[in-house]
Amino acid sequence: MKKTGRTRSARQSKPREKWTRKNIAIDQYKLDLAKTLLKTPTETATVDQALDLVAFQGEVLAGIDRLVGV
């Protein structure tokens, strides 16, 4: 197998084998804005990183709820 010199970053989620192909209608302006803000190289990476951030936010909020006893 040829090596490309690329390594998975700590921010990258699951390996591609676990990915599912989806076709979605999406606001191009929001996608472009997210791609710029996240500094991701592709639209796929942008959506993946945005989903990671939403999942992380959920974990943080659940932890805060546990901390305050909600």
pLDDT the model gives residue 42: 97
pLDDT in tens, 49-63: 999 999 999 999 999
The C-alpha atoms of residue 12 and residue 31 are separated, in whole angstroms, by 18
Residues 42, 6 contacting (CB under 8 angstroms): no
Domain borders along the chain are 25-68
User: What is the pTM assigned to this prediction?
Assistant: 0.69
What is the chain's length?
70
pLDDT the model gives residue 15: 63
pLDDT in tens, 14-57: 566 788 999 999 999 999 999 999 999 999 999 999 999 999 99
Assign 69 a pLDDT band (cuts: 50, 70, 90): confident
3-state SS, residue 49: helix
